[in-house]
Structure 1
Amino acid sequence: MTDAALSLLPHLSPYDALPEQALDDLLKRIERTRVAAGEPIYTFGETLKGLYVIANGEVAVSDEAGHQVSLLQRENSFAERGLLRDGLAVTSARAVTDSDLICIPADLFHKLRAEHEPFRRFFDRNRSGAVVKSQPDFDLTNVRVDTLMVADPVTCAPTLPIQDAARIMRDRRISCLCVLEADRLAGIVTLRDLSGKALAEGLAPSTPVGQIMTKGPRVLPPTAIGSDVLHLMMEHRLGHLPIVSGGHLVGIVTQTDLTHFQASNAAGFVSDAARAETAQGLADVTARIPNLLVQLVAAGHRHDVVTRMITDIADVVTRRLLALAEQQFGPPPARYVWLACGSQGRQEQTGVSDQDNCLMFEDDLTEAQLAYFEPFAQFVSDGLNACGYVYCPGDMMATNPRWRQPVAVWQDYFKYWIANPSKEAQMLASVMFDLRAIGGDVSLFTGLQVETLKAAAANSIFTAHMATNALAHAPPLGLLKGLATIRSGEHRNTIDMKLNGVVPVVDLGRIYALQGELDVVNTRARLEAAMGQKIISRSGGRDLMDVYDLVAQTRLEHQATQIKLGKSPDNFLAPAQLSPFERSHLRDAFVVIKTMQSALMQGRGVLG
């Protein structure tokens, strides 16, 4: 192997973050090896020599059953999952082409992890999910200024007449203008300046703002935190604080921004929604959810905490709409339960959610009683749509008579799907097994859920079909550094983090729940329960939970970034936007998902 091949380590994460002495020691101890095409590097269950880094060539990684789960190229590393567990290989690796490999001995790998935080964070991220705090405080001490600020604030020249400045602020509904001179911040003029300096002193409308502006205003960099803003504003009685990076204006934070941040918490949303008197009032509440998502992610909350908070708001909005519907149409003529499926049912809503719901009511109703629930369902569904939970494209809503039925009809639905697992039945069952009662009489659903889970678990043909259906969504693994992107269309060169990232784990969790008759519907809760019931091995379950955390967190951070940029959030992430660190671990996460899918396909349900 040439010295040029070894030169890649000092420029590759996380080795580039090591102190000079540690890097020198590493380069002295690494082992260089060349493996011919087709030759094995290690096999499943073998004691690993260390961590491998590809200097040149291609390496195929396969699961215990021999199914290839990834094809790795230059700069990719492998074997870390086994090293992080017990030192035994959890996959097999072989050279596809003649390959030059660097091997970092196992003892040195663990020494570097123990002594150097960047090195540990790099490799532990793949094992423990996204590196975030589990329950951080939701306050200004852990939020960066670039999350709070308004980017690209309105600016003007110092020669702008004060009357024109007043008109701009009125028309744009803002309280200040940043004054630039030669592209540099020269000052700031506020509504208070216009009233206290210009109007009170009787200055002519043509007076330039340069005469009344605050020159050389106090500023902060975008790396500052929210409490820095608050303290500076309190100390100097400021209402506006420009944010400057490299001498250039990049944003501004106002007292109003701080107030909005501190009011952006789930409890406040729940309280406001519970008191809303109209669907429009509820829509005013949910319009603030994107900002809440950004704030929660910026504060370091885990994805499952964020999505639970957002779903809690959707639940309260739904229950408030049910109450408003009862006010409009009168007391319901019979007991009913409103159920949500999809992401709301699983308590996993993000910034992109349509509505998936159904309505169940007691048996033996008259035609007049049945007729009550049609406009009732329409009212609630229309209200949800107005609140941003758009109509389901597949018409999986209580407004569809098929999904607005007595308990007995729902019993027949599930019995038929289990006995006749056609493609449609599998699809419908997948959706309906995520049902969760939101409002009404929950007891109407509880008995049906227990009965259905028992019947489904007892039918091996049905569960086999459902398992096959769960493998329909493959993680995006391909030849280009392990990640396969969408090849054409609007989302070309991106990964669908929902369909090919989160959904495969959701599908696996649902199958485990069916196998164990588990009544929980949240994906993480299903994985935990499946481990507890030994439906999957504890090691396999931990790996799957870790990678689910990583994939779901990456998806949520992508959406938060889009919202901050003023875009509508979606699920399409371009790998090119990620660092090598993030791409490497995302690829490894998809490998684990593929491995667990392979295990399910073979009926093992475990990862060695």
Structure 2
Amino acid sequence: MDEDLQTIISFLETVHPYDSLSQDERARVARSFGYRTFPAGRTIYAAGSTLDGLFLIHEGAVEIIDTLGDIVSLLGPRNSFGERGLMRDGLAATTARATQDTVVLLLPVTEFRRLFDEEAAFRRFFQRGRVAEARVAEITTQKVGDLMTRGPITVPHDLSVREAARLMRDRHVSCLGVTEAGRFAGLVTTRDLTNRVLAEGLSADVPVTQIMTRDPVTLAPTALGSDVLHQMLERRIGHLPVIEGGTLVGIVTQTDLTRYQAVSSAQFVRDAAMAETVGQLAAITARIPRLVAQLVGAHHAHEVVTRLTTDIADTVTRRLIALAERDLGPAPVPYLWLACGSQGRQEQSSVSDQDNCMILDDAATPDDMTYFAALARCVSDGLDACGYVYCPGDMMATNPRWCQPLSVWREYFTGWINRPDPTAQMLASVMFDLRPIDGDTSLFQTLQQETLEKASHNTIFVAHMVANSLKHAPPLGLLRGIATIRSGEHKNHIDMKHNGVVPVTDLGRVYALLGRLGAVNTRARLEAAEAAGVISPSGARDLIDAYDLIARTRLEHQARQIRQGQKPNNYLSLSDLSDFERSHLRDAFVVVRTMQSSVGHSRGAMS
């Protein structure tokens, strides 16, 4: 096979949606691609010109410029461009220009349209126009404080060029801040080392002040992403220092902007699906907090953020199962891996502990249990290595109690319903949030429906579940003010999990039980409960609005912590909120308390 053709095929195997094509189809597509090279600064095409095809970056970087001259996107390897024009009238809607020496692959128009018509995955990928446009809007409206790389490295003004170069090499950075008398004075970059030292034949012993850019253009953390793009375009620079109070607090580079646009849940899912080791999966999940902060900063709804985050956990779990089966061999009987807790409800705000179980086909023998114990251990250990730590309550498939044939699971649920003691209530609450992740879903479908039917008709069990849902109360004090934690490490804070979202989660579970609703996600349960008449339209809308505010406030708090380099938690200080925000949060808590009282009265009527 031609070496260039094999290079293209190997590259396409790492690029979505080409990686979803069959091997023969991918080889055919590879033959239709052509190479084009563009030096830095060269226009690839101008707005209004006829497009020759779809461009795919192999090496280098490309900036996309709108008709007003504003940069709307900075693209790197594996990014495509030109599809919007191809899907409309064949004319370029924007201008594309190489910012570095760039190599692109060009897919001819006819081949693009054939793939668009014949390949569903290809069509879905390039029909994401609204999403792409939204991401452009995201970067231009983001605060610089959310885009910048924090903790920039600074050096004294008398440091030698040689030592500066070594520091940049060892710390894997492309620039250093230079200080004089403790204040930011200038910037030195790897390009300065090339253009001002090597090219000019300067000694490596000269101080960095001799080659640095003194008093470079800077921005404040409160500036917008559009300010960064405009400055980089106008001044043709690749690094922008971020200054606050005369101190260098961050750097924004073209790489940061490219990386920002590359951070998407789809990219995480794709990378996780292709991972070959637990270490590779752990490297992916380590980036989830940054994704959460970015999604929150772009003002996505809380249910979108948590759904996208959970999708990554699901993919990681499925990949770990596949890797385990690769090592252990195929399962002896059909089985189903399920998640419960926040992953089951698709409400993960970041990496959290794991809650899972397995349902096995009733044909499983005692000897088969050895295989499933090994499978559970491989997956659970892998999840722990990826940051989904072991469940403190041992609600995991590694616990033999939670790795059983379907008939045993039926006995579990029947026993909890018929004998609703406190332990049964707790277990039922967890298990009502089960959601299939991988395997034979038929093992769960009938079990779920059977359980909902039995449970909803047992008024004593329902009453106990209602009582259990009232154990977590919103943080309301006297006169309906917001009550904070009185002592300990989190004194004067609100627990936005156990006193914020959990009370609504518990209510949603009760409504699903009362209405025999199959939804597991809290917001979906509330909407389904309204549609089924379990709660009134006005009560449902009030509770959904309250839940949205509480969940969004929690996510915004965690995103702030992530941006500040802290580990996110659920403890919010009222001092972080304005009077306006506190007032609305208090109103949301009042709504939750009111709905709890309503459910409590229903419980009294049952008993």
Between the aligned partners of 1:142 and 1:547, the Cα distance in structure 2 is 27
| Equivalence for 1:494 | 493
CA distance in 2 between counterparts of 1:265 and 1:569 reads: 20
Identify the residue that residue 3 of structure 2 maps to in structure 1.
none
Report the equivalent of 2:551.
552
| Alpha-carbon distance in 2 for matches of 1:308, 1:582 | 25
In the TM superposition, residue 184 of structure 1 has moved relative to its aligned partner by: 4.4
Which deviates more from structure 2 when the two are superposed, residues 187-196 or residues 463-472?
A: 187-196
Residue type of the alignment partner of 2:135: F
Task: Quote how far apart the aligned CAs of 1:187 are.
Answer: 1.6
Give the structure 1 partner of residue 589 of structure 2: 590
Q: Per the alignment, in what secondary structure is the counterpart of residue 565 of structure 2?
A: coil
Q: Secondary structure at the match of 1:241?
A: strand
The separation in 2 between residues aligned to 1:313 and 1:142, in whole angstroms, is: 26
Q: Which moved more, 1:351-360 or 1:540-549?
A: 351-360
Matches of 1:245 and 1:279 in 2, distance apart? Answer: 40
TM-score (ref. length: structure 1)? 0.75
Q: Deviations over 1:35-63 (max 9, x none)?
A: xxxxxxxxxxxxxxxxxxxxxxxxxxxxx
- Contact 2:336–2:440 at 8 Å: present in 1 too? yes
Note closer, same or farther for the CA distance 1:346–1:605 as it changes in structure 2 (3 Å cut). farther
Shift of 1:218: 2.0
- Residue identity opposite 1:405 in structure 2: Q
Residue 244 of structure 1 contacts residue 250 of structure 1 at CA under 8 Å; is this kept in 2?
A: yes
CA contact (8 A) 2:480 2:590 kept: no
Greater Cα offset, 225-234 or 563-572: 225-234
Distance in 2 (alpha carbons) for counterparts of 1:457 and 1:290: 39
Is the alpha carbon distance of 1:519 and 1:135 closer, same or farther for their aligned partners in structure 2, counting shifts above 3 Å? farther
Measured in 2, the distance between the counterparts of 1:415 and 1:266 equals 39
Shift of 1:280: 1.2
TM-fit CA distance, 1:245: 3.9
Q: Compute the displacement of 1:375 (Å).
A: 0.4
Task: State how 1:27-42 maps to structure 2 within 5 Å.
Answer: none
- Matched with 2:601 is 602
Tell me what 1:577 maps to. Answer: 576
Does the Cα contact within 8 Å between 1:179 and 1:186 map onto a contact in 2?
Answer: yes
Q: CA deviation at 1:235?
A: 3.6
- One-letter identity of the residue aligned with 1:532: A
Please tell me whether the aligned partners of residues 146 and 222 of structure 1 are also in contact (alpha carbons under 8 angstroms): yes
CA distance 1:135–1:451, change in 2 (3 Å): farther
Deviation (angstroms), 1:135 = 12
Q: In 1, Cα distance between the equivalents of 2:260 and 2:432?
A: 37
The answer for the alignment partner of 2:455 in structure 1 is 456
Task: Please give the residue correspondences for 1:183-332 in structure 2 after superposition, counting only pairs within 5 Å.
Answer: 183-245=182-244, 247-332=246-331
Measured after TM superposition, the shift of residue 216 of structure 1 is: 2.5
Deviations 1:198-237 (A, max 9, x none): 2343333331111101122122232222233234323433
Tell me which moved more, 551-560 or 240-249: 240-249
Work out which structure has the larger RCO, using CA pairs closer than 8 Å and 6 or more positions apart in sequence. Answer: 1
Aligned length: 473
Distance, in Å, in 2 between the alignment partners of 1:296 and 1:428 is 33
Separation in 2, partners of 1:222, 1:407: 56
Q: Distance in 2 between matches of 1:170 and 1:487?
A: 50
Whether the 8 Å CA contact 1:535–1:605 is kept in 2: the answer is: no
Q: Distance in 2 between matches of 1:474 and 1:158?
A: 57
- CA–CA separation in structure 1 for the residues paired with 2:539 and 2:133: 28
Q: Deviations over 1:136-181 (max 9, x none)?
A: 9233123221101123422233222222322332333322111233
1:522 partner amino acid: N
For 2:225 and 2:242, the matched residues in 1 are separated by 12
- Report the counterpart of residue 155 of structure 2 in structure 1: 156
Q: Write the deviation string for residues 399-430 of structure 1: whole angstroms up to 9, x where unpaired.
A: 00000000000000000000000000000000
Q: Aligned residue for 2:180?
A: 181
- Provide closer, same or farther for how the CA distance between residues 136 and 245 of structure 1 changes in structure 2, counting only shifts above 3 A: farther
Partner of 2:342: 343
Amino acid at match of 2:134: D
Deviation at 1:584, TM superposition (A): 1.1
Q: What is the CA deviation profile of residues 99-142 of structure 1, one whole-angstrom value per residue up to 9, with x for unaligned ones?
A: xxxxxxxxxxxxxxxxxxxxxxxxxxxxxxxxxxx999233123
* 8 Å contact from structure 2 (residues 351, 387) kept in 1: no
- Name the amino acid aligned to 2:477: G
Partner of 1:418: 417
The RMSD of aligned alpha carbons is 2.0
Q: Aligned pair 1:393/2:367, yes or no? A: no
**Could you tell me how far apart the structure 2 residues matched to 1:290 and 1:573 are?**
18
Contact kept in structure 1, 2:269 and 2:312, CA below 8 Å: yes
Look up the SS of the partner of 1:138 in the other structure: helix
CA distance in 2, matches of 1:321, 1:366: 24
For the 8 Å contact 2:530–2:537, the answer to whether it is kept is: yes
Which runs of 5 or more structure 1 residues have no equivalent in the other structure? 1-133
Identity of aligned residues (%): 63
Aligned partners of 2:345 and 2:217: how far apart in 1? 47
* Residue pair 1:352, 1:569 contacting (<8 A) in 2 also: no
Structure 1: which amino acid aligns with 2:169? R
Partner of 1:24: none
2: CA distance between counterparts of 1:152 and 1:335? 51
The Cα shift of 1:582 comes to 1.2
Shift in alpha-carbon separation, 1:159–1:592, aligned structure 2, 3 A: same
1:238-263 deviations in whole A, cap 9, x for unaligned?
22111234554332111221122111
Shift of 1:481: 7.3
One-letter amino acid of the structure 2 residue matched with residue 149 of structure 1? M
The one-letter code of the counterpart of 1:488 is S
CA contact (8 A) 2:466 2:603 kept: no
Q: Deviations over 1:492-546 (max 9, x none)?
A: 1111100000000000000000000000000000000111111111111101000
Gaps of 5+ in 2: 1-130
The residue correspondences of 1:76-87 to structure 2 (distance < 5 A) are none
User: Retained in 2: the 8 A contact 1:266–1:313?
Assistant: yes
Tell me if structure 2 keeps the 8 A contact 1:332–1:372. yes
Which deviates more, 375-384 or 185-194?
185-194
Structure 1 residues 432-451: Cα deviation after superposition (integer angstroms, max 9, x where no partner) = 00000000011110000000
The answer on whether the counterparts of 1:158 and 1:208 sit within 8 Å (CA) in structure 2 is yes
Which deviates the most, 501-510 or 230-239?
Answer: 230-239
**In 2, Cα distance between equivalents of 1:455 and 1:505:** 24
Greater mean alpha carbon deviation, residues 343-352 or residues 448-457: 343-352
Q: Tell me, in whole angstroms, the C-alpha distance in 2 between the residues paired with 1:151 and 1:605.
A: 55
Mapped partners of 1:281, 1:173: distance in 2: 20
Displacement after TM superposition at 1:396 (Å): 0.2
User: Helix, strand or coil for the counterpart of 2:135?
Assistant: coil
The reply to whether residue 138 of structure 1 matches residue 138 of structure 2 is no
